[in-house]
Amino acid sequence: MPTPIGQSALSVEVPPENLEVGSASAPTPALQTITIPPVYIEGEAASARRLVAAHDAARAQRSCLSEGATAAFGALEVAAAAATTAIASSLGPLAAVPLATLATTSYSEGQKLRAFYNCETE
């Protein structure tokens, strides 16, 4: 067992105003001493550093640059599909194809925006 850093246990005095008393007429209790035993940490420092580094890496926020760029270019695709649908609307029944393309592109853009949102909120 490793040698402890400090030989004495830590004592803490709790003032009586911080203690809960059952009723207002009860006598005020005397100060109480709480003794906390020493804590020993075993192991090598390199393992602890690796553990802390792994924890920090897991908690680090990842970059959402690729999801944001994909969503931005997807917005341009939706704008192009909307312009094509507006132009094709003058063709009458043939406007159904660009309208279906607009719906599909809009759905795809919604998925890209959701992926970007999920990345930002993780």
pLDDT digits (tens, 9 = 90+) for 30-61: 788 888 888 776 767 677 778 778 877 776 66
pLDDT tens-place string over residues 53-90: 887 777 666 778 888 899 999 999 999 988 888 888 88
> What CA–CA distance (Å, rounded) separates 27 from 4?
40
Residue 3 resides in a domain: no
Q: Do 90 and 47 share a structural domain?
A: no
Rounded to two decimals, the pTM is 0.47
Domain range for 35 is 10-21+28-59
Q: Do 116 and 79 share a structural domain?
A: yes
Residue 2 resides in a domain: no
> What CA–CA distance (Å, rounded) separates 84 from 111?
22
**Total domain count for the chain?**
2
Q: Do 75 and 55 share a structural domain?
A: no
Residue 111 resides in a domain: yes
pLDDT tens-place string over residues 93-110: 777 888 888 889 999 999
Q: Do 50 and 95 share a structural domain?
A: no
| pLDDT at 111 (0 to 100) | 93
